Structure 1
């Protein structure tokens, strides 16, 4: 696998500048001098496998920021060892056959760091637990109250619930253990918080963060309480510890309890936001868990995971323990605990112990008879693991049995060794032949090695060249997109500036006309609605003899027209046809109505005017027109009444004539 390592060493403290050397499949290359932020950008672009340093604390106050900025899969390695156990960089170089030039050259130190890391020397710096917190919550503010805000809030809570279910299903399918804490609201969820027992790398591509919409998903790795240093080459340690039965209650607050194999309480503890590594470390400090117990059925994923890591037997009750049963178990133990999590953990451990108690008491009785009570803990642990009592006792005894001294073999009687000598000679000839064949094969292998080295050099050069071309093409593509985006923004900005310039000139002219008295200002309503009227009332108020200009009157009702009449407006100008009921109310109350084809309106945003003489003439003509129409209407109605009276009179005369005849 091609591997990229960056060796980094500090050049200056103020300002911080770093020397960087890259190692790619055996090829070293000086990358130059970097500021802190340029170094971070470079690392995020290159995504190296390892960042190698002789002392990570050279990063100073920027260390935490640097660790958070590292891309997934990139390790930070301190090649000189753990803090307090660090060795000289140059002594490590000598041990690993690395030639050193100028020891005062930062680039030389960066090169040595990269080469040491390539040989597996150093300790990886771990800043994060193998745990992730996933928070699902509302993405936007709900605004102020009202029916629409209530509907929107309920909709968002349903969306949060759906997203929580999606994440839960994805984690279950991937067989990743987790704990979930939710806040229910409006038949949905106000928020959901997952504590996932997996690293960021395991979740990559499975769950993605979301920002800017109705629902927000944040994925944050859990930081360790202190930095840990793990060797690049794994180390093993064997430790003999007392066997215990552990009860575990996982969740946001973790409860842990431990009993020894005699049923005595060893530990009871609880802590909020306890990392998996802290749980494992706490249990390891108590002893070796032979059984890991839970109070619920089925067992939580975290309990299964920790049981596997200790190779412990998992105890799960037939049914989840009820609160009354847990309290009764604690009363029989004669102990009180600080919280429910400690209670649940201790109840689980004690329930597991009670299941095994008859078998363990039988083992103790037999061991008393045999005088082996000193080995009670070891033998009972083996019995719990599945050995019968006899096998367990033998296994413990064999561990302690001293090695028997090898007795000298007795002298054998003299025998004829001639056939054996002949066989030895034949084998020596075969060995000689095989050695010659081995030499020939070694020569062929050496030749093949040289060819492989040449091909690897070519491949490394080609890989580096391809990598550089890909990065360059990506940078060009990003730059081109950025240029196109900025050009578009510039065009839009120029268009806005031109429009604003025209509007400013027009506004100045309109204001000048108004000051001269040759123009009348209009109060503008974008829509003829109560909301717009209230907005206008708050900003400018509608007063007697105001001229109102309406852009969109559709949807207005009779009550709005009556309100404007009560305010005493002098006239109304509309860009579109008014609804009949609005027009009828205004006409009835002698409030002139005009459309834009009848009178010229000059407008800039919220500011509009009309020519005073044109407006006065139009109002006079409109009122005269309506008066003429009303007079004509009255005449028509009078004539209609006269005609109706004439017809009725003729009918009456005819009826009288018929009666007299």
Structure 2
């Protein structure tokens, strides 16, 4: 019971002093007072005020401390033996010092050599870097030139192919022209469509249609009697067609003694924009056309037309 009462009293006393201890901790920390805090708290517990306790401890720590002087060491007597020992050590230290100095000189020379070597390597690196730069530039130029060369080779191949085609077409054209000169082939004017516009465009851009021309229409399906009359007015010799021609246009041309001949019947040949027909086959078709027209005219009793056909045949046979 006494121990419990004593412990209770101690706890009560600590709790009653706790605010003062906290104030003390705050003051020491804020003012940065260099004192022993445990000693300071002990003084306060003895009844001393906070400021008195702090002043007391600061005063104690500022008092000088007596330092006892070191005892004098008696100087050792210098004997010959001790002198020889010291001299031997001194000579050994000097020898060691010379070795260190030589080593330092060697290291300094090594440093100089390494600096020189560094400058050489730096210079070599600059040369290599520059060389690599030019090598890279050269390689790029080589790649560029190789690409240009390949493109040039492709262009040459394309042009060579075009040249071969042109030579082939020129050979064909020369062959056909030779046959035309010999009288085996007849030149034919080629128009795109059987229309008035196509005839006018050809006349404007290429050449006028005139008496005795043989006309090839690529597409004969467009025009009618009016277009046929334009050809009749120009006194063309014949029309070659590769597609059907309207009945009215054909009748108009036949009445004017202009034959309409299928391209397959006259061995039509094309060389670019030029066209040619076999002379013998053309003349054969022309004679057959005249025979048919003359026979039909006799049947119908059209003496005038019969006479016209006969006159035309005589003129063509001269």
* TM range, smaller chain: 0.3 to 0.5
Provide the TM-score with structure 2 as the length reference.
0.46
Task: Work out which of the two has the higher radius of gyration on C-alpha atoms and give 1 or 2.
Answer: 2
Instruction: Report the structure, 1 or 2, having the larger helix content.
Output: 2
The structure showing larger relative contact order (alpha-carbon pairs under 8 Å, at least 6 residues apart) is 2
Provide the TM-score with structure 1 as the length reference.
0.24
